Amino acid sequence: MKEEIVKLIKLQAIDSEIAGFDNIIADHQAVLAGREQAIVEKQEAITVFRGKIELLNQKQQETKSEHDEAGIRVKDRQNKMMQVQTSREHQALLKEIEENKRVYKETEDRVLQFIEQIESLEEEVATLENLCSGEQQLLTEEVEKVEKEIKRIESTKKAIVNQREKEAAALEAPYLKRYAMLLDKRDRLAVVSVNVNVCQGCYMALPPQQVIEIRKAEKLHTCPTCQRILYYKTPEDMAVEK
């Protein structure tokens, strides 16, 4: 039995190492995904700003037309002034001229405001576009670096996976089956040590009698709480783990 337990400890050490490689790869990929997301968010902001600019351009053109029309009406009424006969007609035309002059001035101010708003949004778009292209360039370089790094990790991992196959094959089938099931269900940690009567998988205390049995290592013991395979940590075991 002791032999099988030692094999299980070895296998767990290898699987933990493999999990470590997978975590490093996942971390690298998460960093890249985060940077990509930051670029996407800026691109979305650019799209929103462009939509606003288009709307403001439309409003600016409409206001400009109103302005031009008011100008034409002022000239038209001023021409008509020369032909009016009565004071009532004269007063009515004067009123129209004043009203159109007011519209002429008011629309001119609004056109200028629209132009200012458009210019400020265009500046923001230009700033964001600059940031995006800079970040995109850096990201492309980073992706290249990370891909190389991942390839390096994968090749190291491959050698360890090969070693794992050999170790797993040396284990009796029922143990391997139980081990594999635990590895899958218990976050890639199936074999854990007992340290001062505490399971190092779930950190729950074990019955003292069971700890004595685990030390004897005459049969396979599992934690009553997390079902992980237990072994008593001796200096020898620690050497195996390293």
The yes or no reply on residue 5 touching Zn ion (CB under 5 A) is no
The yes or no reply on residue 201 touching Zn ion (CB under 5 A) is yes
Shortest distance in whole angstroms from residue 223 CB to Zn ion: 3
**Nearest-CA neighbor of 220 among 183, 184, 172, 187?**
172
Say if residues 96 and 77 touch (Cβ distance below 8 Å): yes
Shortest distance in whole angstroms from residue 12 CB to Zn ion: 14
Shortest distance in whole angstroms from residue 179 CB to Zn ion: 15
The yes or no reply on residue 206 touching Zn ion (CB under 5 A) is no
The yes or no reply on residue 226 touching Zn ion (CB under 5 A) is yes
Residue of 8, 183, 190, 199 interacting with Zn ion (CB under 5 A) = 199
H-only helix segments in 81-188: 87-169, 173-185
The yes or no reply on residue 182 touching Zn ion (CB under 5 A) is no
Distances (CA, A) of 80 to 14, 88, 91, 101, 138: 99, 13, 12, 16, 68
Of the candidate spans 58-66, 95-103, 106-114, 223-231, the one that interacts with Zn ion by CB under 5 A turns out to be: 223-231
Shortest distance in whole angstroms from residue 204 CB to Zn ion: 5
Which DSSP symbol is given to 221? E
Binding site for Zn ion (CB under 5 A): 199, 201-202, 223, 225-226
